[in-house]
Amino acid sequence: WASVVGGSMGGMQAIEWAAMYPERVASLFLASTTTEASAQQIAWSHIGRMAVEADPRFRGGDYYGSEPGDGPHRGLAVARMAAMVTYRSDEVFAERFGRTVLNQFDFSLKRTFDIEGYLDYHGMKLARRFDANSYLRLNRAMDLHDLGRGRGSTEAALARIRCPSVVAAIRSDGLYPPHQQRSLHEGLLASGLASEFIEVDSPHGHDGFLIDTEQLAPALSEIVDRGLNENVHNRQESR
């Protein structure tokens, strides 16, 4: 592959490919990702999974014979709401929502603030299009991600990689903070690999790598071109 590119869970997959098939990956672009999930990332994931499993309509995961609308939609929606808070930053929430109310200020437990309506909307939006069991397993896969497992150590796993890389971080990312990407970058350098570290100046938190793509584009274009050139060189060498 000329380049394997991924952000967040996609970045976990990308770096895994490079460790599994080092001779087949000519370059890497890794954004907002890490070599292993942190305790805080696992904690947020656990809360989301517990919300799904606590929904009485989850039925231990065996809800597929239920009538339409009788699945664990509320639990999945709550899990999505919790995740949405981790994907964005206080900076963005404060600017976009502040303490704006939906209609009239109410001292009851009803939805009062605009941010509550936003989370409700995105929670149900996911619940209408995503399977709860699939959510749980994808979510758990991110928790279990550990590049060093079965390879001796993270350092030994990184030493398997042979290609140049770009590692990108988002300044305001609270879920996958920049120190994780910097550590990954330094690990690649310590293995004797060419690695470039870039920090995107974005207020959008973890979602910044999906939103501020214009800041990622130049480095992405350069590393893909480098991988393409490496592939051409290797083909010529093998003739």
Measure the CA–CA gap between 197 and 168, rounded to whole angstroms: 6
Question: Which member of 3, 8, 89, 202 is catalytic?
Answer: 8
CA dist., res. 36 & res. 119, Å (int): 28
Best CA proximity match to 196, nearest among 206, 181, 208? 181
Question: Which helix (H) or strand (E) element contains residue 29?
Answer: strand 28-31
> Catalytic annotation on 179?
no
**206 assigned to active site:** yes
Structure-token pair, residue 64? 């597929």
Catalytic residue check, 8: yes
Say how many Å lie between the first and final Cα of the chain, rounded: 19
Please pick, among 145, 185, 204, 206, the residue that the annotation labels catalytic.
206
The residue annotated as part of the active site, out of 165, 173, 195, 207, is 173
The tokens of 220 are what?
Answer: 């992405």
102's tokens: 């939906």
* Residues annotated as part of the active site: 8, 173, 206
